[in-house]
Amino acid sequence: MRYWKAFSGAVAVAAVTVFAAPVGAAEANVMLTRVSSDPFTNSTSQHATEVEPDTFAHGSTVVGTFQVGRFFSGGSTDIGFVRSGDGGATWGTPGFLPGLTFSAGAAVPYERVSDPSVAFDAAHDTWLISSIPLLPNLSVPIVFVSRSTDDGQTWSPPKTIPPPAAKTVNLDKNWTVCDNTASSPFYGHCYTELDNFGAGDLELMSTSTDGGLTWSTPVPTGGNDKGLGGQPLVQPDGTVIVPFESLNNKIEAFRSTDGGASWAKGVTVSSVRFKGVAGGLRTSPLPTAEIDGAGRVYVAWEDCRFRASCSSNDIVFSTSADGVNWTAASRVPIDPVTSGVDHFIPGLAVDPATAGATARLGLTYYFYPKAGCGGACQLEVGFISSPDGGAHWGTATQLAGPMALSQIAQTSQGPMVGDYISSSFSGGKVATLFAVGLQQPSTTTFDEAMYAPSTPLTVASPSQATNASSTAGAVVPAGGAGTGVTQQSIRRN
């Protein structure tokens, strides 16, 4: 792997050429664009680091958001954003959300901020980025929502989601989505999922009906479900479905059919078998979820059930038309189950202009070419796609890497590129952002920044998608925690 960089601009945005090594039967030649880098200099966090991107697309506009200046013990100096007006073909000058932390110069009591999630509210023509601010004692009393009314170009100081009614409030893992179907009875409702770590990771939901200006007090589900990492999705009829990682080694989902006034008890999507990733890399089976044009929900996560002795993780997925009945977990055929490759931190995209048997899927993910890499792991980024709703997949493509774990942010829960990443469809192609670490850091300096493919990624044609996914062949029972993961290892901040 070789990189050539030509820096320009105040925040050192760069063009990067990547010649990728073979992945499976494919050999890629992928050019990347460096879309943002950490400009901060506060001595309390690690520079230059950018981690944990989320993306959302509306029409030709794609907005990405991510943590900037990662603290070892949790959170970051600020939340960054970057915008493309042409579906990810080019990216504008990156920016940093105002009014979030005193580490970034704001007159607020919050030292750090974490967990950015971006959404678009079509009814109010407003972009939203939610995040969680951390006090110096690392507690999280509220959720922030930053707003943009000029198509994601500039952002106002944040509004606040009120704290839940609870004896102890310490919030985590927010995620925001809006109902953008004009015929929906709840058009213009926006929903934010969060959990209260102070109440045992109680799942909570808050609703806004005015473009994110005001939010309801967060409420639990009918079953007082506990977990984190929920990603709300809205069907065309206004039903909201929220897959999440529960505390009982399952992916579960709950839903609302009344515009967020109430939330039903969660149901099981699938049990999880997860192999702890080598090198202490910070990751767990948080779901990535998307929805097609007809309202079918797709949920993917990392899982080792198809590998002998749970030796490494695949990316698996399940789908549902109603949020209640889910298909058996199916393996994404990135490589053979005997490959020894470990796959994790998936970011799923589903083309909202497609549905059913012709739904187009794109999946970005991180991987180790060798799962048992000990302290010499080589971290890489891959992409694979499906033209038929996940029934068949094309050949995997390597997008970036290899990078050493010493080249990415170090945290109390392991080296970090993000608890999640994201991919989004715009104009039939996939835009995605991911963290890449380039140089061996000194004691205090990194070069971990946000990158995007210089050309949006295309989906394999039916003739190219010759690798069938399957629910068959699980060699490890799909129940229990697998190896190297416990309830306490679920990630925060």
For the stretch 78-129, pLDDT in tens is 999 999 999 999 999 999 999 999 999 999 999 999 999 999 999 999 999 9
How confident is the prediction for the chain on average, in pLDDT?
Answer: 92
pLDDT given for residue 375 in this prediction: 79
Helices (H) and strands (E) in the chain, counts: 0, 35
Average of per-residue pLDDT across 238-262? 97
Q: Is the pLDDT of residue 459 over 90?
A: yes
Average of per-residue pLDDT across 417-445? 89
pTM of the model: 0.94
Instruction: Determine the Cα–Cα distance for residues 143 and 217; give it in Å rounded to an integer.
Output: 11
Average of per-residue pLDDT across 304-309? 97
pLDDT given for residue 493 in this prediction: 86
pLDDT band (50, 70, 90) for residue 23: very low
pLDDT given for residue 479 in this prediction: 59
Q: Is the pLDDT of residue 437 over 50?
A: yes
Instruction: Determine the Cα–Cα distance for residues 168 and 83; give it in Å rounded to an integer.
Output: 37
pLDDT given for residue 239 in this prediction: 98
Q: Is the pLDDT of residue 1 over 50?
A: no
For the stretch 44-86, pLDDT in tens is 999 999 999 999 999 999 999 999 999 999 999 999 999 999 9
pLDDT given for residue 486 in this prediction: 42
Instruction: Determine the Cα–Cα distance for residues 33 and 22; give it in Å rounded to an integer.
Output: 21
Look at 374 and 484; give whichever has higher pLDDT: 374
Judge contact between 59 and 459, C-beta under 8 A: no
Whether the link from the prior residue into 402 is cis, omega within 30° of 0, is yes
Instruction: Determine the Cα–Cα distance for residues 63 and 431; give it in Å rounded to an integer.
Output: 10
For the stretch 162-208, pLDDT in tens is 999 999 999 999 999 999 999 999 999 999 999 999 999 999 999 99
Question: What single DSSP character describes residue 493?
Answer: -
Buried b (16+ CB within 10 A) or exposed e, 296-326: bbbbbbbbbbbbeebbbbbbbbbbbbebeeb
Look at 13 and 395; give whichever has higher pLDDT: 395
Residue whose C-alpha is closest to residue 366's, from 33, 46, 51:
51
Is residue 42 packed enough to be buried (19+ CB in 10 Å), middle (13-18) or exposed (0-12)? middle
Question: What single DSSP character describes residue 358?
Answer: G
Within 8 A by CB and 6+ apart from 298, the residues are 289, 290, 291, 292, 317, 318, 319, 348, 350, 359, 361, 390
Average of per-residue pLDDT across 307-325? 97
Is residue 107 packed enough to be buried (19+ CB in 10 Å), middle (13-18) or exposed (0-12)? exposed
Average of per-residue pLDDT across 325-346? 98
Instruction: Determine the Cα–Cα distance for residues 463 and 302; give it in Å rounded to an integer.
Output: 27
